[in-house]
């Protein structure tokens, strides 16, 4: 193979998109096994931003580079799951969402939006637990749990400070 053909081949093998078959996030840096070409299974490191982490689901797409076209060592640039990604975002909106965001009525998500007014943060979940030092507030969509834990109905002030005064 002449040098020009070798260079062309390496450039073709430099970038690839694959389908995640399994993920391992227990050893620090996320590592996924993905199929890039038919029956080409490769492990790639998948760095994530500090303070944010997730475990890719099987079936997610991963985008990777292979330095010098060497397919034995890949680095994931990013991944996404078309089936589970919220599709109702307005321009400029940001959302943090989990597995059940689209599959359950109270699927968990945090949306930063300007609707109904700028600076709005919408939190959607079936249960929210807030802990600040020795203080704890539980909000649960199940009325039986909410009443057992001392959660009050909407419109009633919650005594959150140590003096028992409503804030």
d(C-alpha 99, C-alpha 109), whole Å: 9
Instruction: Say whether both 11 and 76 belong to one domain.
Output: yes
Alpha helix ranges (H) inside the chain = 3-14, 143-148
Domain encompassing residue 115:
84-125
pTM (predicted TM-score): 0.71
pLDDT, tens digit (0-9, with 9 covering 90-100), for 59-75: 999 999 999 888 888 99
Instruction: Say whether both 116 and 135 belong to one domain.
Output: no
| Structural domains of the chain, count | 3
How far from 82 is each of 4, 60, 95, CA to CA, in Å? 37, 7, 15
Residue-averaged pLDDT of the chain: 83
Instruction: Say whether both 76 and 7 belong to one domain.
Output: yes
pLDDT, tens digit (0-9, with 9 covering 90-100), for 18-38: 999 999 988 888 899 999 989
Instruction: Say whether both 36 and 54 belong to one domain.
Output: yes
Instruction: Say whether both 133 and 90 belong to one domain.
Output: no
Instruction: Say whether both 70 and 21 belong to one domain.
Output: yes
* 147 pLDDT tier (thresholds 50, 70, 90): low
What pLDDT sits at residue 161? 46
124: how many CB neighbours lie within 10 A of its CB? 16
Last residue of a domain, one of 46, 64, 80: 80
Instruction: Say whether both 49 and 96 belong to one domain.
Output: no
Instruction: Say whether both 76 and 94 belong to one domain.
Output: no
Instruction: Say whether both 28 and 58 belong to one domain.
Output: yes
Place of tokens 């990777």: 64
């Amino acid at each position: 193979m002449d040098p020009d053909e070798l260079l062309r081949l390496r450039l073709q093998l430099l970038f690839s998109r694959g389908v995640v078959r399994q993920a391992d996030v227990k050893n620090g840096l996320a590592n996924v096994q993905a199929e890039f070409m038919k029956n080409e299974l490769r492990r790639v490191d998948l760095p994530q931003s500090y303070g944010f982490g997730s475990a890719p689901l099987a079936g997610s797409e991963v985008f990777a580079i292979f330095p010098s076209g060497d397919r034995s060592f890949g680095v994931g640039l990013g991944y996404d799951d078309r089936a589970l990604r919220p599709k109702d975002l307005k321009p400029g909106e940001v959302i943090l969402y989990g597995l059940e965001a689209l599959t359950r009525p109270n699927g968990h998500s945090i949306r930063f939006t300007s609707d109904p007014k700028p600076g709005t943060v919408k939190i959607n979940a079936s249960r929210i637990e807030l802990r600040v030092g020795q203080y704890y507030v539980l909000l649960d969509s199940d009325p039986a749990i909410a009443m057992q834990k001392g959660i009050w109905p909407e419109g009633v002030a919650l005594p959150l400070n140590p003096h028992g005064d409503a804030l």
